[in-house]
Amino acid sequence: MNLKILMVEDDNSVAEMMGMFFKKEGWEQDIAADGVEAVDMFKKDVDKYDLITLDLNLPKKDGIQVAKEVRAISPTVPIIMLTARGSESDQVLGLGIGADEYVTKPFSPIALIARIKALHRRVMMEEKPSLPQETKQDYEIETEHLKISKSRREVLFDGQPVTDLTPKEFDLLYTMAQKPKQVFSRDQLLELVWGYEYYGEERTVDAHIKKLRQKLEKVGAKVIQTVWGVGYKFDDSQAK
């Protein structure tokens, strides 16, 4: 696994420490010391980096704004947010604007590396090319209004494409759409979508569901329902 990581971090000691651990893994690292520099570096070559680690508290432009601007350029580049802030509201905000993971400082370098590897594995699995025999009409999931191709990362609602889904948003939709009307608890979705190596808060699910709904509803797809006190379900039987 050869990774090129953009670390956005204004604390030199943290950046140098992680650089040593990344080097042991055979990974390359570029460092941006403030938010403006981070966005400029990413804009220069959007395909250069396999993953971004992003501090929340940054000079010139904070991590929330950086994440928004990066997501406007690339809806899929993995982002792990690193911050000393540990409040639930900060976590929901960070995940809600497009971060894939959230790690609170102080953190274990080994744990962060494990999180990076797990996230990269999921991204690589999601980006595997379609099999040669697959045709444009093949969809793994077809409901009354929705069609989903996991291999092509394609979602159609009544023939309209649902665009700019992040990997986690796509996986949430795919997981729930496999079993329409079944209610999934937040714990179940954390386990199914994030995996056993993810130790996140239940609000992580809420933040991603909120963004997923917004993107679905752009094409009129009100198909994710909240079951109060339990969790969420997919149901497009009353979508139109």
What confidence tens digit (pLDDT) does each residue in 68-105 have? 888 888 888 888 888 765 555 555 555 666 677 777 77
What's the predicted TM-score (pTM) here? 0.57
What confidence tens digit (pLDDT) does each residue in 172-203 have? 999 999 998 999 998 888 888 877 555 556 67
What confidence tens digit (pLDDT) does each residue in 38-51 have? 999 998 888 889 89
Query: Looking at the DSSP assignment, which residues form a beta bridge with residue 91?
Result: none
What confidence tens digit (pLDDT) does each residue in 215-224 have? 998 888 889 9
Give the C-alpha distances (Å, rounded to integers) separating 152 from 146, 155, 156: 15, 9, 12
Let me know the angle formed at the C-alpha of 215 by 210 and 218, rounded to the nearest 5 degrees. Answer: 125
Q: Is the dihedral of CA 113, 114, 116, 121 positive or negative?
A: positive
